[in-house]
A and B are shown apart, each in its own frame.
Chain A
């Protein structure tokens, strides 16, 4: 019932945005202020109904109404409140709603701040995008044609033919299937809102570009559009950073970037948006590049829609680890991208001849040419990535059934482009602030070049870089740092408010340095044996049982409990045991591994976690997931996870045994793990994989003895595991006491936790001073605790983050700068208006 109300409000929101689109278009066409005001009200109605409907969805999630498919599919009773809330946008439908909410808020900002000639057409375009996005979740059915998938559909609607629905149409599941464990991360709670804020704001330059074509005012629009575009880029950058950080810290992906289609989906709009920003800046400064800034603003949004299409239509299903479920929206998404492309590019071509062109070409050594080149390089980079990501579509022109491109495809293109970009940033930035000839430019660059050479040579020597290509890359990156650093230094003295751009370009250089160091020079952590083995593989000296040379190096090692191993000739690494706890995830184990540097230095611990995935595990099949531990340092990170352990192996075995036994309904006796051993004082006996020594008797202290004790004594027992040499000493108690005239013995067992063993002093044989021990636990085929470790040392990941933060800082400064200028013009403008 509540769901129906939500559904109705969603439909109302959809209708309101259609009405707003028509009204805004008419207002723009007729230049009618009154209709524009009506349209604003329609926009508000759209937003309010949408917010109510979202509120209802959140309410349904919070109150666990599992008859709704969305609630059932993404939440469960045991989910913490913050994740219940984030489950709202955990699925395809809810994430569309979040995107629309963000666009609504951006629209309110546009209504408030946009100048008159642009307001109505800009809002008309915004409303058009809303119509498409809302159509994805409206969930209507016209004559058998489905429009969108509503988050308010019930399980009965989702699968009407399921037997349990046929039997009982009002069936309500007792619990939901739960949010995927991997998404239960604070990073994942804030990542989607930030990315949708970015998507929503990137709609603004698109809308302004269309509005400029519509109103034929080709120059003014960039001034209000620029701060929005910068803000959109900052959002997308932050989202990319959070996604990368999540992949690195939480998933065992092994790194922060994998050229995965979904990652690319956020990178491409960022690259094209940045290209657009460069073009807008030329236009603002020099009244050139109108064509480019309109074109790139349109393209950045099309890139967002296209990447949405790729990740949400099911096209990439086989290629990406994390594309969305196919909701049957293929046709609608395709229509969305076609309309946006046709509207954008079509309108652009229609007006192309009218667009202003510069009267004379700019020279090579001018800020226009350099900035424009930067813009084109960013565009090319974006196009290459789109091309690679589209392999399921484009690849069909080459082969049937195409695979995704190799990672090297992306690297082969991005490396040279990055090198060229790095050089251009320095020359372009210098020219941006001052005119130079080739000679004067060379003069001013002497110092940065000198510093660059020193830094590069040091990096090459210290990092043992042997590849010439990498040397060039490192040189280019340092040049971007020092060349732009010189500009920053100069600007800080003169115009500190204008440092945004140079900070960004320094950040770019720093990012390149971090990327090359952390990706190319990542080394696996290995014990001596694996390192020797890998060296032999590299020489081609290892053959498998069939006589083929082995080519796959080992990238892991095993640790047995309390037996230190020398790793990478740098640390003595010791596995010290694990702890099982139920918080925050039931059944999770934290492993404790000690690293002790061999050259002195303070030891530290790594505590990676392994846990059963709740949502996908069942009684007869536990699925384990790992949570790597990353030890971040200024110079290098240690990335460490446990890929296997005795605990996990035992658990799996137990589950398997249970499965096999269940049908026989337990008529087999549980295994008897009890063994009795007799020992005289000083004797050692072997039992299974252990040796037991009775060292001596020990006196028993009063307080541990029962009342009326006649005999009370302890025995010092040393238990040693023969294969590992580990040993424990226990002093079990034996006592005889009387109660109501009868004698009783008291001999509690003592546990050796590490071996799940219990030692009991069960009998005293006074004749020959010997004792009987009862041992509870596995003695035969005993296995010491072990873990299998995958670990890497990644140099300078911190530098990647530093570069990202510099970029974020640069963008933030630029936003403030351009926004305050825009505010000033607006104030002047409204003064003019009131004078009229």
Chain B
């Protein structure tokens, strides 16, 4: 009985610490572009800066645009896939990748959209009124 109990407790402790350790390693903190310069892989949150050049290049087979992070730093972001579906619609972008020489090479990109279920904004309301 006691041996089993100890084994059980041991297993739980082992499991929990392993889980904690693994979880701790697999999450990261969001950073800005400046901080990203010294890290191998980073998550940067920001918004699309549409005043700068952007688009998909058919020669280089990559999508590039400029993003302004939460502290106002603007950097060029290169994404090796076509423009994601709801890119223009996104109110917030998360790019995951590596910063090299002032260009951010994103391996992955998440779009935060107003909502999949159509969040309303007042701008939409005024246009509904005109229509």
Contact = CB atoms under 8 A, between A and B. Distances in A.
A361 B4 contact: yes
B117 A325 contact: yes
B128 to A, nearest CB: 5
A413 B120 contact: no
Contact of B23 (A177, A178, A409): A409
Contacts of A558: 58
Interface in A715-738: none
Contact of A626 (B24, B56, B85, B101): B85
Nearest to A410: B26
B61 A556 contact: yes
Interface stretch (A106-114, A265-273, A399-407, A814-822): A399-407
Contacts of B88: 621, 623
Nearest to B25: A409
Contact of B111 (A321, A395, A624): A321
B28 interface: yes
B1 A413 contact: no
Nearest to B15: A380
B19 interface: yes
B128 A174 contact: yes
A733 to B, nearest CB: 39
A317 interface: yes
A322 B82 contact: no
B110 interface: yes
Contacts of A361: 1, 4
A179 B82 CA distance: 26
B81 interface: yes
> Chain A interface secondary structure, helix, strand, loop or mixed?
loop
B124 to A, nearest CB: 6
A788 B80 contact: no
A324 B115 contact: yes
Which of under 10, 10 to 19, 20 to 34, or 35 or more describes the interface residues of A?
35 or more
Main secondary structure of the interface of B (DSSP, over half): mixed
B114 to A, nearest CB: 8
Interface stretch (A119-127, A384-392, A593-601, A686-694): A384-392
Contacts of B82: 556, 643-644, 788, 790
Contacts of A155: 125
A618 B129 CA distance: 14
A89 B58 CA distance: 42
B28 A402 contact: yes
A321 B110 contact: yes
B65 interface: no
Interface string A83-99: 00000001110000000
A321 to B, nearest CB: 7
Interface string A540-569: 000000101001111110100000000000
Nearest to B105: A552
A91 B27 contact: no
Contacts of A402: 27-29
Contacts of B107: 552
Contact of B29 (A74, A173, A400, A409): A400
B58 A788 contact: yes
B81 A556 contact: yes
B128 A546 contact: no
A585 to B, nearest CB: 14
Nearest to A168: B129
Contacts of A401: 29-30
B51 interface: no
A551 B100 CA distance: 12
Contacts of B15: 380
A322 B116 contact: yes
B131 A178 contact: no
> Quick one: which of B15, B82, B100, B124 has the most chain A CB within 10 A?
B82
Given A325-B117, A546-B101, A403 B30 contact: yes
A180 interface: yes
A625 interface: yes
Contacts of A388: 23
Contacts of B100: 546, 548
Interface residues of B, number: 51
Contacts of B85: 252, 623-626
Contact of B19 (A183, A321, A384, A548): A384
A785 interface: no
A90 B117 CA distance: 7
A342 interface: no
Given A398-B24, A399-B28, A177 B94 contact: no
B75 interface: no
A831 B83 CA distance: 69
A590 to B, nearest CB: 17
A613 B85 CA distance: 10
A649 B21 CA distance: 48
B86 A548 contact: no
Interface string B80-96: 11110110110010100
Contacts of B120: 69, 72-73, 158, 177
Nearest to B29: A399
A175 interface: yes
B19 A162 contact: no
A403 B92 contact: no
Contacts of A400: 29
A412 interface: yes
B118 A74 contact: yes
A164 interface: yes
Interface string A621-651: 1011110000000000000000110000000
Among B30, B85, B88, B101: residue with most chain A CB under 10 A: B85
B122 interface: yes
Contacts of B94: 318
Interface in A365-405: 380, 384, 387-388, 391, 394-395, 398-405
A560 B93 CA distance: 32
A618 B127 contact: yes
A179 B110 CA distance: 22
Contact of A413 (B22, B80, B113, B126): B22
Nearest to A322: B116
Nearest to A618: B127
A645 B105 CA distance: 24
B119 interface: yes
A287 interface: no
A398 B27 contact: yes
A830 interface: no
B26 to A, nearest CB: 4
A616 interface: yes
A324 B110 contact: no
Of A182, A394, A408, A616, most B-chain CB atoms within 10 Å: A616
A164 B117 contact: no
Interface string B1-18: 100100000000001000
A558 B61 CA distance: 9
Contacts of A380: 15
A472 interface: no
A317 B28 CA distance: 17
B80 A555 contact: yes
Interface of A: 69, 72-74, 90-92, 155, 158-159, 162, 164, 171, 173-175, 177-180, 182-183, 252, 317-318, 321-322, 324-325, 361, 380, 384, 387-388, 391, 394-395, 398-406, 408-409, 412-413, 530, 546, 548, 551-556, 558, 613, 615-616, 618, 621, 623-626, 643-644, 786, 788, 790
Nearest first, the 3 closest Cβ-Cβ pairs linking A and B are: A643-B82, A409-B26, A552-B80
Given A72-B128, A318-B112, A616-B86, 9 more contacts: A73-B120, A158-B120, A177-B128, A183-B117, A387-B19, A401-B30, A408-B26, A409-B27, A790-B81
Interface of B: 1, 4, 15, 19, 22-24, 26-30, 43, 45, 56, 58, 61-62, 80-83, 85-86, 88-89, 92, 94, 100-101, 103, 105, 107, 110-113, 115-120, 122, 124-129, 131
14 contacts: A162-B125, A164-B126, A173-B128, A173-B129, A178-B118, A325-B115, A395-B23, A399-B27, A402-B27, A406-B26, A552-B80, A552-B105, A552-B107, A623-B86
